[in-house]
Amino acid sequence: MTNSKKIAWLNIHSSLYQTRISKKFKNRKPYSIPDQKIILSYIPGTILDICIKEGEYVKKGDILLILDAMKMKNRLKCNMDGTVKSVYVKSGDKVSKGTVLLELE
């Protein structure tokens, strides 16, 4: 394999750069926009209170649940208007980062 085959063009914010691309970079998972209807835990902690029920209509800014993490009570707020499709956790559950907490319709 010659050096010319290892070199590729990389486009970052409309600027082209000539660089070597590794196998790891070529095989990476492409970025996809996260689903706004799925609410994930952004930090590990314990669910203290669930402020909504399945089938309930919620508005942007409404408190969905309270997550206790590092002795702080984090209020997870709704990011859009919608109906609660399903709640996957209950009070007292310990969750890790990235755990699906609930889903909106």
Mean pLDDT calculated for residue range 16-45: 90
CA–CA separation, 28 and 7 (whole Å): 18
Give the residue from 51, 40, 30 showing the smallest Cα distance to 97. 40
Q: Give residue 82's domain range.
A: 38-104
* Domain-located, residue 24: no
Identify the pLDDT of residue 8: 86
* Domain-located, residue 84: yes
* Domain-located, residue 11: no
CA–CA separation, 84 and 55 (whole Å): 5
* Domain-located, residue 17: no
Mean pLDDT calculated for residue range 87-102: 95
Identify the pLDDT of residue 23: 87
CATH number for the domain including 80? 2.40.50.100
How many structural domains comprise the chain?
1
pLDDT tens string 4-22: 567 888 888 999 999 888 8
Identify the pLDDT of residue 31: 86
DSSP state string for the chain: --HHHHEEEEEETTEEEEEE--HHHHTSPPP-PPPTTEEE-SS-EEEEEE---TT-EE-TT-EEEEEEETTEEEEEEPSS-EEEEEE---TT-EE-TT-EEEEE-
* Domain-located, residue 6: no
pLDDT tens string 42-73: 999 999 999 999 999 999 999 999 999 988 99
* Domain-located, residue 58: yes
* Domain-located, residue 33: no
* Domain-located, residue 45: yes
Identify the pLDDT of residue 3: 52
